[in-house]
């Protein structure tokens, strides 16, 4: 028995924060930056941000509704929900329960009212770890249909008086409906790893900061922004860049012999696509130097598309590409999903399109 992705939905909020906007915001706190500086180091031109009324929970629901609208097959009711997030509004009750309640109001026959669920932490690679969990639940027949969601409001965890992280991060959500299949299609293998000693490279704490809402008002009023106490994500960018680039190269070079991830022993060249966590476009270009064709597999050769849609939305960032691949990868073809982040934790998933689409 296999487990297949029946549909992918996405939600990316309408607010747009450009590099020019960040130049104005940071200048009020005495920090210099420019469009050229940001693009050269990250490849990012703009990022989406949620309104004050939007939450991790509401974006998770919107992405799930998009996934439901995309269903083309009859499936058993959703009986489990897993939400990968690092930025939920409150630690409990969890986001999964909120999603279950809201979806059941609209689609009472599609999601069980008493469906269980959880919100595992795992940095930006948590969504890939959750794929591994969902695959196990479905293949073992413990659950029939699992709704997997990655939802993040990272802009709530950023200090907009410091350019180190605010130039990279944005908001959004992606949702995946996973259920059983009769053949060996769908998820074929998984491979995860971590380094528990590297906990100080990406972390979050409470401190004084400039919130995005305050920064936008301060720009409009041309004044120094006020600081308030809140959560702030910290990241040693150079260390993360080197780690992720090295991880990509290692997993590509060891792909055929990685029996956990690739039990079918296909070659990396046979992959028809890749969904990679969108951490830094310059890092993807670095991998391209040693593995030509990598950017094409990732769907990152259209410069206009990159300028419009490439930014780090953590666990939400792979949904758009996954949605594309479900539409364009031929029956029986393979694609590969990879996420990585805090704790130098990563997880990769190999997926094969069902023959009978």
pLDDT in tens, 236-252: 989 999 999 999 999 99
Confidence (pLDDT) at 67: 98
Residue 274 · residue 298 · CB < 8 Å: yes
* Residue 247: both structure tokens together: 């991880």
For the residues 269-287, what does the mean pLDDT come to? 97
pLDDT of 90-136, one tens digit each? 888 999 999 999 999 999 999 999 999 999 988 999 999 999 999 99
Percent of the chain with pLDDT over 70: 100
Query: What b-and-e string marks burial along 321-346, b requiring 16 or more CB atoms within 10 Å of the CB?
Result: bbbebbeebeeebbbbbbbbbbbbbb
CA distance 260 to 238: 30
Confidence (pLDDT) at 126: 96
Contacts (Cβ under 8 Å, ≥6 apart) of 22: 33, 38, 163, 166, 167
Neighbours of 139 (CB within 10 A): 16
pLDDT at 356 over 80: no
CA distance 73 to 324: 18
**Domain with residues 190-199+238-352, CATH architecture:** 3-Layer(aba) Sandwich (3.40)
What confidence tier does 184 reach under pLDDT thresholds 50, 70, 90?
A: confident
* Residue 159: both structure tokens together: 């200090």
Confidence (pLDDT) at 183: 77
DSSP, collapsed to helix, strand or coil, labels residue 266 as coil
- Each domain of the chain, given as residue ranges in start order, spans 2-185, 190-199+238-352
Confidence (pLDDT) at 154: 98
pLDDT at 357 over 60: no
Confidence (pLDDT) at 232: 96
Beta strand extents in the chain (DSSP E only): 2-11, 15-18, 46-49, 78-84, 111-118, 145-153, 171-181, 186-193, 202-209, 228-235, 274-276, 334-341, 345-352
CA distance 110 to 70: 13
For the residues 149-178, what does the mean pLDDT come to? 97
pLDDT at 50 over 90: yes
What confidence tier does 286 reach under pLDDT thresholds 50, 70, 90?
A: very high
Phi, psi of 28 (to 5 degrees): -65, -20
Phi, psi of 249 (to 5 degrees): -65, -40
Same fold, 2-185 and 190-199+238-352: yes
Residue 161 · residue 227 · CB < 8 Å: yes
pLDDT at 301 over 80: yes
Contacts (Cβ under 8 Å, ≥6 apart) of 329: 272, 273, 335, 353
Confidence (pLDDT) at 182: 79
For the residues 78-96, what does the mean pLDDT come to? 94
CA distance 287 to 303: 17
- pLDDT, averaged across the chain: 95
For the residues 314-335, what does the mean pLDDT come to? 97
- Given the candidates 3.30.420.40, 3.40.640.10, 3.40.920.10, 3.40.47.10, the CATH classification of the domain at 2-185 is 3.40.47.10
């Amino acid at each position: 028995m296999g487990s297949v992705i029946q549909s992918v939905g996405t939600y990316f909020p309408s607010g747009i924060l450009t590099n020019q906007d960040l130049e104005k915001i940071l200048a009020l706190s005495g920090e210099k930056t420019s469009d050229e500086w940001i693009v050269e180091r990250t490849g990012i031109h703009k990022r989406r941000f949620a309104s004050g009324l939007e939450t991790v929970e509401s974006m998770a629901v919107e992405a799930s509704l998009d996934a439901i609208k995309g269903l083309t097959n009859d499936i058993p009711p959703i009986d489990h929900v897993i939400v990968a997030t690092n930025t939920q509004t409150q630690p409990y009750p969890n986001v999964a329960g909120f999603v279950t309640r809201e979806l059941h109001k609209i689609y009472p026959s599609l999601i069980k009212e008493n469906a269980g669920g959880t919100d595992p932490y795992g940095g930006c690679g948590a969504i890939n770890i959750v794929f591994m969990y969902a695959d196990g639940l479905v293949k073992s027949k413990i659950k029939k249909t699992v709704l997997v969601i990655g939802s993040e409001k990272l802009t709530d965890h950023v200090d907009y008086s410091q350019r180190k992280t605010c130039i990279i991060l944005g908001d959004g959500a992606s949702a995946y409906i996973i259920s059983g299949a009769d053949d060996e299609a769908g998820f074929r293998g998984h491979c995860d790893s971590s380094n528990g000693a590297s906990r100080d490279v990406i972390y979050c704490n409470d401190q004084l900061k400039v919130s995005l809402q305050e920064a936008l008002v301060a720009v409009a009023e041309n004044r120094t922004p006020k600081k308030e106490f809140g959560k702030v994500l910290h990241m040693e960018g150079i260390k993360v860049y080197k780690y992720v680039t090295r991880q990509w190269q290692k997993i590509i070079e060891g792909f055929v012999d990685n029996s956990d991830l690739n039990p079918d022993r296909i070659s990396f060249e046979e992959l028809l696509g890749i969904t990679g966590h969108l951490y830094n476009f310059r890092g993807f270009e670095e991998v391209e130097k040693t593995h030509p064709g990598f950017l094409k597999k990732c769907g990152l050769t259209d410069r206009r598309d990159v300028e419009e849609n490439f930014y780090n939305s953590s666990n939400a960032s792979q949904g758009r590409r996954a949605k594309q691949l479900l539409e364009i990868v031929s029956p029986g073809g393979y694609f590969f999903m990879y996420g990585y982040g805090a704790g130098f934790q990563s997880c990769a998933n190999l997926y094969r399109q069902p023959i009978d689409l």
